[in-house]
Chains A and B, each alone.
Chain A
């Protein structure tokens, strides 16, 4: 049976935070959003980026690997659950371990909190609230075949952070030519481009007609 998962395409994100508003409506954590939407750099662009739990698989999620009390459980279909509330000791190991910055510590409740792919909904065949609400399908829920059939871009589940590599259950949508998301390489590229622009080699934008 095809695996249904989330596809995250930041190029479509309009920063409306419908995902955040919708996430807060879930009965299991009403009032708290496990999705985060951030401006990439408002000083240069209106671009925004949603962050959801990527549900890493390699071999188990880094957050689960480091949990001293094995509170972070992973379902047979690969969904990494929020730390089991009866076990979580609020040690924050998962917060430090996650390469995507997803788990958050609720200081008041002394519990780790994160997205569990709306397990109450998705295990019954519904969509998670964030993808259900998303007006642009920047967050989109379905299986890989459906994605390839309906959408442009390349769904990638391989992310590289320098020496650390993770495979994830949730896919990022990248331009066709990229087979993996190499964060360090992209950062270097951006720094280079910025340096060139500063030196006047490559004008970053066309001149305004005023």
Chain B
């Protein structure tokens, strides 16, 4: 939804307010200047990484021009069009800040400081803390919306500069479950195909993804496929812009996708549509899956997931009869306490149909963040070293220790996952943290707990270019750079490495992020390991560090990226063209075969019950990116969706006496928030939807469940039990013609009912039998090629 300009009031109709949509904060001063030059680069937002030109006038970034790059063909979504407005934005942080006057009962204030003051303070505290409490008392929480060079540097900084085991990143909250599923099934974690392959397919199955709003540019390729005659099936609790025109919409109950996917596989087996030669020749473990899906009849899927049985059968036949079929899946499936299993259910379908490894078919995870793919390969993940090397495997440790020039014994072992760090902070095991490229107060579930954890840190150091909700809690804020004030590479959701070019200098005293990290390292006495004079020097070291690893970047030079329009990893040698399509002949497991894993439907951690009759699900809006720290500051985008809302079906709304535009309170066992209601039949009557891009009292993560997937610790953002009630409010002035408002209904009876709790973070079954960060026996290394 966005601001509805559908109705015009008399007097406004013919006097359209051209300025109402929001002006960029710096105005349009350069409107009539001619551009002096165009800088080729890519958008800073989602995982598609569209090519664009930035317009420079007199050395300032003043606009954007289309760039005909292979995967976006000059198209841009609204975020991409206005991305450049971040550069000279008045909200930019232009000098370091230190919190002064903090004491018992008072939070103190963030005040201007010099770089020397800020960095020396941080380094002094870290030295003290590490001397007293051990090296792991300081943690690094990184992010993936930045270049590979920076992501690599954060991993190295944590392990070499600080010597701490606790480094993890926000990809943990994003698609980590898909990453593990692909590593288990295929032995390698990357989308199997370039987006330009999508038009080759005959049937698209979109699971838990509103591609239209989350990856608008990928719709180019979906529509090309549909123009060629491909069918589109969408599995989503909401009739999204993606689902609206689909051939078949499966309105699944949030958190029950596996029941539908398994029922589809069962139907395909019963219809005799599986590809037996492929299963025999290229996979292992089919019989177990065949047996596991047998109980999932279409009627059983209807009972569990609320999708009419006929639609499940129709979907299975559309999918199963297509010569080439492609499954696209994203957060709707992955943000779950059984996210890994959900992705494996998709993989099972594709493998049973013999689709993986052919052009235009198979499965494709839609990685969300700008550099979500690269960020999880270059060694800023808790259990990982650059090149997808594993921190537990001695040869991998030795290789990286040699590249970094440190004794292998100094290299820390596995640390806590991002979602576990919060617990360690609250428990006092982590005393200080450096947060970069992340806004935990918006992005982590149950953010009241997160706030307490962050406030227990001394110091909390945040590096950002806008004052995020997390930076507001910081003791030291270090002003960094936006994407086009630095250069480097990112790896988009296809696995295509692209080049971001420099178009501006950081404003005021702000500095490039990698320069700040190198400066911190020098002050920590580890400067000899961070001698970089340019981003390119970091890139060359990263190429070396990834050499021979699963994600081998060694052959990718910046020149090759420019010449080829991006290079797909693995690219092991300089004369190697890169690998757009994976698994044509063999999978990445040592025996070259893909693995089937039988998966069972398990209920989400919390299900409706008692006073909480709805399933609350959260998601995105096309106008905002992640925590909204960037996009909420850009006038055009924020003007379209300035505040969150809750979508509720008219049937449910009528029962509760809720009208469109009413203020309502949404409650879960963790908290409550007030939002505006959008009464619309495009959502299941037993579900509620709230977008999550907003901060403070507008953050839906006040309500979400902190239960995580036992394997990868990805939180279950997509379903928790909730209720909604109308707030008594003075009737707002009604737009003309909307009729009289009925009198408010009696308040809902309050009971003591609690929702049904299946498992929580505390009592979740542990797949890993070890405590955080302990290393494992070789037997547990199975499937751990990632």
Q: Footprint of B on A, CB under 8 Å?
A: 11-12, 14-18, 20-22, 24-25, 27, 30-33, 36, 38-39, 41-48, 92, 95-96, 104-108, 113, 127, 129, 132-137, 150-152, 205-206, 208-210
Contacts and interface: CB of A to CB of B under 8 A. Distances in A.
Given A16-B212, A27-B31, A33-B21, A39 B682 contact: no
B16 A43 contact: no
A39 B15 CA distance: 20
B678 interface: yes
Considering residues A11, A14, A134, which has the most beta carbons from chain B within 10 angstroms of its beta carbon? A14
A29 B306 CA distance: 50
B107 interface: no
Contact of B622 (A16, A24, A25, A31): A16
Contacts of B660: 43
B245 A11 contact: yes
Interface in B364-404: none
Interface in B124-143: none
Interface of B: 1-2, 4-6, 14-19, 21, 23-24, 28, 31-32, 63-64, 66, 74-78, 80-82, 212-213, 216-217, 219-220, 223, 226-227, 239-242, 244-245, 251, 302, 306-308, 622-623, 636-637, 640, 651, 660, 678-682, 684-686
Contacts of A113: 18
Given A31-B19, A151-B227, A210-B306, A92 B14 contact: yes
A34 B616 CA distance: 38
B77 A135 contact: yes
A136 B72 CA distance: 11
Main SS of the interface on chain A?
A: loop
Given A21-B82, A209-B306, A38 B240 contact: no
B306 A133 contact: no
Given A14-B219, A27-B32, A42 B6 contact: yes
A15 B32 contact: no
Contacts of A38: 4-6
A31 to B, nearest CB: 5
Looking at A36, A113, A137, the one whose CB has the most chain B CB atoms below 10 A away is A137
28 contacts: A14-B219, A16-B622, A16-B623, A18-B80, A20-B21, A20-B78, A20-B636, A21-B637, A22-B81, A27-B32, A31-B24, A38-B6, A41-B6, A42-B4, A42-B6, A45-B244, A45-B682, A48-B241, A107-B15, A127-B66, A133-B75, A133-B81, A135-B212, A136-B216, A150-B227, A152-B227, A208-B651, A209-B307
A92 B16 CA distance: 12
A134 B307 CA distance: 33
Contacts of B21: 20, 24, 33
B15 A132 contact: no
A43 B679 contact: yes
B213 A16 contact: yes
Given A47-B244, A136-B220, A208-B684, A39 B6 contact: yes
A151 B19 CA distance: 36
A45 B682 CA distance: 6
Contact of B686 (A22, A25, A48, A210): A210
A108 B6 CA distance: 22
Nearest to B72: A135
Given A14-B622, A16-B77, A31 B23 contact: yes
Nearest to B78: A21
Contacts of B239: 45-46
A39 B14 contact: no
Contacts of A44: 680-681
Contacts of A43: 660, 679-680
Nearest to B682: A46
A36 B20 CA distance: 13
Those 7 A-B pairs whose CB atoms lie nearest each other, nearest first: A135-B216, A104-B16, A14-B212, A30-B31, A21-B78, A21-B81, A14-B241
B66 A133 contact: yes
A17 B16 contact: no
B31 A31 contact: yes
B16 A127 contact: no
Nearest to B245: A11
A132 B75 contact: yes
Nearest to A101: B13
Chain A CB count within 10 A is highest, among B5, B241, B681, B682, for: B241
Given A14-B213, A16-B216, A42-B680, A133 B76 contact: yes
Given A12-B223, A18-B216, A208-B306, A105 B82 contact: no
Contact of A105 (B15, B220, B678): B15
A18 B77 contact: yes
A121 B707 CA distance: 53
Contacts of B81: 18, 21-22, 24-25, 133
Given A44-B681, A208-B651, 19 more contacts: A14-B219, A14-B241, A16-B77, A18-B216, A22-B76, A30-B28, A45-B681, A46-B240, A106-B16, A106-B18, A133-B76, A135-B216, A135-B217, A137-B220, A205-B681, A208-B684, A209-B307, A209-B308, A210-B684
A39 B685 CA distance: 22
A17 B6 CA distance: 14
A132 B66 contact: yes
Contacts of A107: 15, 17
B47 to A, nearest CB: 14
B622 A132 contact: no
B77 to A, nearest CB: 5
A43 B660 CA distance: 8
A92 B245 CA distance: 38
A128 to B, nearest CB: 11
A175 B258 CA distance: 36
Given A12-B223, A105-B14, A105-B16, A136 B685 contact: no
Nearest to B239: A46
Most buried by A among B18, B76, B245, B307: B18
A115 to B, nearest CB: 13
B14 A104 contact: yes
Nearest to B212: A14
A39 B4 contact: yes
B624 to A, nearest CB: 12
Contacts of A205: 681
B173 to A, nearest CB: 24
Nearest to A30: B31
Contacts of A27: 31-32
Given A39-B6, A95-B14, A151-B227, A21 B75 contact: no
B478 to A, nearest CB: 31
Given A36-B5, A135-B219, A210-B685, A127 B74 contact: yes
A176 to B, nearest CB: 13
A134 B559 CA distance: 30
Contacts of A96: 14
B689 to A, nearest CB: 12
Contacts of A132: 66, 74-76
Nearest to A38: B6
Greatest chain B CB density within 10 A among A16, A20, A22 is at A16
A46 B306 contact: no
A203 to B, nearest CB: 13
